[in-house]
């Protein structure tokens, strides 16, 4: 681990000295293998920064957050491709938002697909010059220095994808998990240069041949605010569809947990969720950054009321 960190630090400094990166921390491992994309991305195209954005959004039991997620990007995105893994009220909420806000939105119900395959299904239906990857629990800033509209200032270059860290809320909109208040940078926006594709192995985010640019600041909040059973099952997600092929035998995550792991979900989830909520701490804007305006508005309307 120390050797890997030293190598990363050395490469980062070398790239910075050559001017290939704009900041010492604007480094992504894929850039080592896509160095030629740096030169392809240098020619700026002002028209590209105004180009349409297609959004792929995957949802599963995101009743508490999907409306906020759509609201946060509806003025940035030209067309949504939403793939819902369930067959319940999340899809109904999405359809209502589509009709109320007159969104250009295509909704697909695909309970048989895991997250990786859901994203690939949506990718095949995107033809806009830019691709935003947003899940039903991701709420972007719409105001202040981290507003999603400000990202367009970085979109005047081809053959790039943009990454940023995520601020995280857990359980409700007022709490976070100690030590996991912010996640490392994840890709959020891809230039649709014809190379965007599904990842290999255990990854679930799209990959592409491009130069990665880390925005460095959290333009988005990941709101892990879901029914207790969904949060409980989430703990087995990686084992089910990323670190094994169990998803081929059990298309349904709950069935995998019950049948293969022999876990009594109804018995375990209540005890687990109480411990989970007791471990959370209040989110501190002074330490981790300001709330998105859409979440602030929600809290003002609802008050300081936990969802569960």
Where are the domains positioned within the chain?
1-33, 34-308
pLDDT score of 13:
62
Structure tokens at 59: 């949802």
What pLDDT does 177 receive?
Answer: 93
**CATH level 2 (architecture), domain 34-308:** Alpha-Beta Complex (3.90)
Low-confidence residues of the chain, pLDDT below 70? Answer: 1-33, 201-202, 303-308
Global confidence as pTM: 0.85
Residue pair 307/298 in contact by the 8 Å Cβ criterion = no
- pLDDT value of residue 133: 97
- CA–CA dist 211, 190 (Å, integer): 10
pLDDT value at position 105?
98
End-to-end CA distance of the chain: give it in Å, rounded. Answer: 40
Q: What pLDDT is stored for residue 308 in this prediction?
A: 41
Distance, CA of 173 to CA of 221 (rounded, Å):
10
Residue 300's CB is within 10 A of a number of other CB atoms, namely 8
């Amino acid at each position: 681990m120390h050797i890997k960190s030293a190598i990363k630090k050395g490469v980062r400094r070398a790239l910075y000295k050559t001017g290939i990166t704009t900041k010492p921390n604007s480094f992504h491992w894929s850039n080592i293998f896509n160095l030629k994309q740096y030169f392809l991305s240098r020619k700026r195209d002002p028209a590209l920064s105004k180009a349409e954005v297609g959004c792929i959004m995957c949802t599963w039991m995101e009743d508490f957050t999907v409306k906020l997620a759509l609201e946060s990007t509806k003025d940035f995105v030209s067309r949504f491709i939403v793939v819902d893994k369930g067959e319940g009220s999340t899809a109904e909420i999405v359809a209502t938002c589509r009709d109320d806000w007159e969104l250009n939105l295509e909704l697909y119900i695909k309970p048989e697909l895991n997250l990786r395959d859901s994203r690939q299904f949506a990718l095949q239906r995107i033809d806009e010059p830019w691709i935003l990857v947003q899940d039903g629990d991701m709420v972007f800033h719409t105001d202040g220095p981290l507003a999603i509209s400000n990202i367009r200032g970085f979109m005047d270059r081809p053959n790039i994808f943009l990454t940023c860290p995520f601020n995280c809320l857990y359980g409700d909109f007022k709490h976070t998990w100690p030590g996991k208040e912010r996640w490392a940078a994840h890709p959020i926006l891809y230039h649709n240069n014809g190379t965007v594709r599904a990842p290999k192995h255990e990854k679930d985010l799209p990959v592409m041949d491009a130069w990665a640019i880390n925005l460095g600041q959290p333009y988005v909040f990941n709101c892990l605010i879901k029914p207790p059973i969904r949060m409980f099952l989430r703990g087995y997600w990686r084992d089910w569809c990323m670190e094994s092929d169990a998803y081929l035998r059990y298309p349904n995550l709950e069935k995998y947990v019950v049948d293969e792991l022999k876990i009594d979900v109804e018995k375990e989830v209540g005890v687990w969720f109480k411990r989970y909520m007791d471990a959370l701490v209040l989110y501190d804007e002074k330490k981790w950054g300001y709330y998105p305006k859409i979440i602030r508005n929600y809290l003002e309307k609802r008050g300081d009321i936990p969802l569960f």
